[in-house]
Structure 1
Amino acid sequence: MTDMHSWPTPLPGHGAPANAWRRRGLWGMLVLVVVGLLATLVWLARSYEMEQTQRDLERDNSYAAQALRQRLARNLQDLHGLAATQTEAVGWTAAAGPMLGEHREWLRLQWRDPQLQLLAAADSPYYAPLPAPESDLPPNVDLGQACAQAAKTAGPVYAPSRFVPRPGGLGDEVMELCLPILHGTRLLGYLVAAHTLEGVLAQLPTQLTRGQSVSLTELDGTRLAVQGAPRRGTRVFVAQQVLDLPGAPMVLRLEGARQLPDVFPNVLTALVTGLSIALVTVLVLLARDFRRRQAAEAELAQALSFRKAMEDSLVTGLRARDLQGRITYVNPAFCAMVGYEPHELIGRGAPMPYWPPEHAHEYGERQVQRLAGQAPGRDGFESVFLRKDGTRFPVLIFEAPLIAAVGKQTGWMSAVMDMTALRRAEELSRASQERLQASARLATVGEMASLMSHELNQPLAVISSYATGSLNLLQGGPAAGADAAMLHDVRTALTRIADQAGRAGKVIHSVRDLVRQRSTARQAVAPRELVDTVLPLVQLQARKLDALLQVDVPPTLPAVWCEPTMIEQVLINLARNGLQAMDQGAAARVLRLRARAVPDGEPPSAVEFSVADTGCGIADDVAEQLFTPFFTTKDEGMGLGLSLCRTVVEQHGGKLLHAPQSPRGTVFSFLLPLARG
């Protein structure tokens, strides 16, 4: 027995008692969690019932607001019908009476002119009459402002409500509606309807005012009219909605008292339902979250692959750098451009391996300015890069700040374009342009030769004619008493030969200046002097063709600013063409040279020269190509005369025109500017 008492006894606080305390703590925590969960479920159920009660009240309030809006809209339709059908005061008053009987919310209807002077009025039979309309003139300020606003907007406007006192200390809250009466855009007057707010609320369905109150209040909460009364309860629920009436917005307030929801009968239902819903919800949320996660991962993988494919297919190099200037990203196009692999570039800072050594310092300073934000953003600049094989190539760089999703700048993004192909295309284009210019110069030389040969035909023909005449005079021998006359004729012919030879030289110089696109020596010349210079040549050809020459050039015309030789050549070409046109079977051959001031009044702005013939005219198909170089209807013509004439006139700032002449023939005309000073 003594041996049994020699076994040691366990110390307090060790072994099983410690585990028991731990288990009790865990169970206590579990009980607290369950109690908290139950309390939460009960609170949620009670809150749900209260929210449902509030939702029902708000639904009633929305229905009441909709009913009021519909009622006011029907009122507007009736007022529009009254304004449209009645235009006389007697008929208007007779029609307004029955309408007031149908609308219990109206106290009075008034018809006013555009100056708000009363034309007719009618009072409701259901209410004590308001003060006489005459005492309400001029109308109150609120109504006047509402009518002015209605006239501007061409629509109805409500005036703010006002309290109208009644006998016995009572009164009505009255709100007036001003409706403009329009005929097109012309204002004919106004239709004013005075509403009682209590009457407006009385039009609501009775189920909305049974056991709850409906009121209209100002935006600041001032109560204007009330209909119905709430039941007695432990809590009052309120729902409000704004009635946005034009000119006078109001708040429709619905108040209803409800008993607080019971708690204990709903605990078990709330507990079971809550736990079931919670379990199902957790499972549904887990499944939905898993599907969303899978969809997000698939979309992310697709977006990454699409972005990589897009970046790999770009021909423009992309390069990203951080705020310290180190490269953080390059696309394959940039690597192919400089000849380096991505791992050789990412993480590198200045100097970059693709910088030419002689420009490394300059590029480094530019990068420092860029990183410091001193360089302009999003502007392209040209530079030169060095490939890994040592070849240099021009590039165009566009650089912009790299903004992260949080709106913070994390670096710089660059787009690099290889300009080698563009530079090569520019060189080819420049070479082609030089070749085209050389070809144009050769063509100009040919055109100059053609023009000179064409223009020299006339003075050389005149020289030949005068020379032949002089030889005939000399070979015929002098007749008795005719020595002086013959010598005078020979002297005159030789003088004309010298003048035409000088003219041929002037033609050569003028055509050469024309081909070189160089301005010729212009001077102030009288129109009569220009015509007198070419008149001998024109008369000579007119006599050959047996044509009558008429000259209408007043000597008082102001001088024009032109190059005389070229303008004289234009007149000769036009006169010669007119004579040749009349040589083709014209009955009456009359060539008229005319000059007149344009406009005919004072002071003139230009002088118009015209050459009119009585030939067969110009056909439509010929008129389309009349000024085309080398186009001609003559067997021996070169097709350069009219083209040259148009070029000369356009160089003088004018335009060569042609028009048919009545009864037959053609008129060519052009303008020359006046000489200033």
Structure 2
Amino acid sequence: MQTPEPAAPRLRGPWRTVAWTRRWWGRQSPNRQDRFAMLAPLVAVLLFLAAIAAAILYLRAEEIEREQEAVKRDVEYAQQRLRLRLLERQEQLMRLARDVSNRELNRNDFNTRADGLINQYPELQMLSWIDEKGRVRATRAAPTVPGAQLLSVGEVLKRGETEATFSLTKDLQQPVYSPPSGSAEDGAQLQLHVPLNDQGRFAGVIAGEYSVDGLLRYGAPTEVLAKYAVALVDAQGHVLAGSALPPRSKATQLLPWAVKANEFEVPVSPVGNSLLLRAQGYRTSLGLIGSGQFWLVGVLSAMTAWMLIANWRHTRRRVRAQEALVAETNFRRAMENSILTGMRAMDMNGKVTYVNAAFCQMTGWTEQELVGQMPPFSYWPEEDHAALSARLRDELSGKTIQGGFQVKVKRKNGALFDARLYVSPLVDAHGQQTGWMTSMTDITEPNRIREQLSASYERFTIVLEALDASVSVAPLGSEELLFANKLYRLWFGAHTGGHLHLVAQAGVPTTRTQEQSLDDVDGLAGLPTESLTAAQTENAEIFVPELGKWLEVRSRYLNWVDGRLAQMVIATDITPRRQAEEQAAAQAERAQTASRLITMGEMASSVAHELNQPLTAINNYCNGMLSRIRDQQITEEALLTALEKTSKQAQRAGQIIQRIRSFVKRSEPNRTLSDVTEMVSEAVELAEIELRRRSVRLSYYVAARLPRLVVDPILIEQVLVNLMKNASESIDAANRPPPRRSVELRVVPRQVDGLNAVEFSVVDTGGGLAPEVMERLYEAFFSTKVEGMGIGLNLCRSIIESHSGRMEAENLYNGADITGCRFSFWLPVTQQPLESATSSAEQTRILG
């Protein structure tokens, strides 16, 4: 029978904690164990430093508490000495006051007793006898009292501390101490008023004045004065006598080891809280910062902690280096397996020692099948063995091609693909060549794309060569011509002179600078050119005398295939179009002249009637002068008068003819800086002939200080005459009664789209325009008049639009009835700003 094994003893107490710690430590990872192993000594050092600092602080606190108890004890002892001295002086003054109250002392006896007390007790500065009315009966003072503080016999107390203490003594009938007065520099004073009692009646006081400095000097124990900075201060903390330590700075008070100053103060009895005795202990110990033990322990602990931290950081750096090495190795292995370029390594004899995954994927053979092969390799096509073997011998001998070479490679399934191989020496870490590294890239798709691009380029070149426009491309700041089609070469040759000439004539900016060297370096290399290449095409029309042609030049910037910024210029022959435009302009000019002739033809009867009046007057004046000369009934003065009137009528007829002649005369368009008032006046003079014949009143208004316009004045006058003539014809066709036969011309400033302009408007009282007429108003050869040609309003609008203006027409209504029509046009101000037209001069004429 086997005896059972005894059970394992159960752990208790600290052993149980040790066992739990071991189990917890075994569950931690190695990294965490290393971290805890490094942190444990550091924590132990920090705890040791904290314990030493706590012990030093505790001892320092005990020392400060003992010093404070000693100061308190000494101050209370000094306060008792001062109290006894004050009570002794108070008792002596009370005996003096009793003798004075009993009339045992006269003034001389008082002076004698006072001198004795002052000489015997140095702190007593002055004794005064003051009656019940506050008048000084007698006073004695020490020689050291300044004259300004002495009291004169017969003087009445003034309002102040002395008078207030006197009143308080009178009310209480008890000795009263006044609050200290003055400062330490001036000699602070303390007064004691003892009342005089004459058979129960207040008879005045005996006032004694003490020197606070003398009281401290002779009353406080010398051993206390030697140990501390002892001072008597008032209730506000101002030093009255003694010495005080300077206050500690705020920076020192904020230090963590700073303690409260070792001082104590207590009121001086029987004066009260207005006089305090304060003692400040001189610093005799070095303190926490001056303790050599503290600094020794601190420096040793800091050095230990620094060494532990440095060791821990060094270990951490080694761990990070190992992790980085592992990560770098994994990254390089992943990169080799993921790149699309095949890598093959051979030794110095041509044996394959390494291939990556991309090489295996390209050829179809596995790494095990390829590594260890000797030439000829399995991925060589059979028909290329000789050529590839010769090239391999050149590679092994060091004859490599920098740009690589192209070969055919056979896959395991027998398919062929184009590849480009780059060979470079394989050098180890010691700088010794151990073999050759070959990189292989599949270029089957790039070859196919290159062939397609070549075909596309041929088609593109054929299209550009067949264009009826000259196309050239040149880089900025260079004499090189990148491209030129057939028509460009036919016009300008195969050099860049024609391109630069077109650019210069068209006014297109270039960036060629004098600093540009002759090696055709792009001066804009590296600069952003998106804003230039994204800009719109710039157009210009120029004449090339060498070709005798008008060319429309269009240019734009583009990025060439090599990355340089280039400029493309397209020049199209527009000579036929320019000739057609010139013919159209000539036809328009002839149409303007014809329109003016037609207008004058329509106004022929009115002009004839207008000329008939001065000619008839001339005839009458001449016949009258002839008759009176034959009869010899005319004087020289009358003859001169008649001749002057005849001359005026002839001038009037000549002006009418000259105005009509200048209006209908054909001339080249001449835009000048013209005055608006003059244009309106000349147009009104021409139009008023027709309006007067039709019995139509004309009123016109021209605003003052209008700017001058850059226009052809004859063409603007033609528009105004045509509009006023049409207005009179509309009134005549509507058979308006005489009160309603009027035309108004207004010229005022106007703002059009933020630009200054001058507006001309002609308003009539005719029958207006029908809706169908309004739609075709400016249509060529359309007219509402039976004999009209339909070119007037169309020509007027063309004239206004050629001056960058606009013409409008609208009916005027009175309810549903048309009361007239308004034609208006405006011309922009291009030479000077439009001035204010607040004040205007109205020029109105009624023609009937």
- What's the TM-score bracket when you normalise by the shorter of the two chains? 0.3 to 0.5
Q: Give TM-score scaled by structure 1 length.
A: 0.35
Q: Give TM-score scaled by structure 2 length.
A: 0.29
Q: Which has the larger radius of gyration?
A: 2
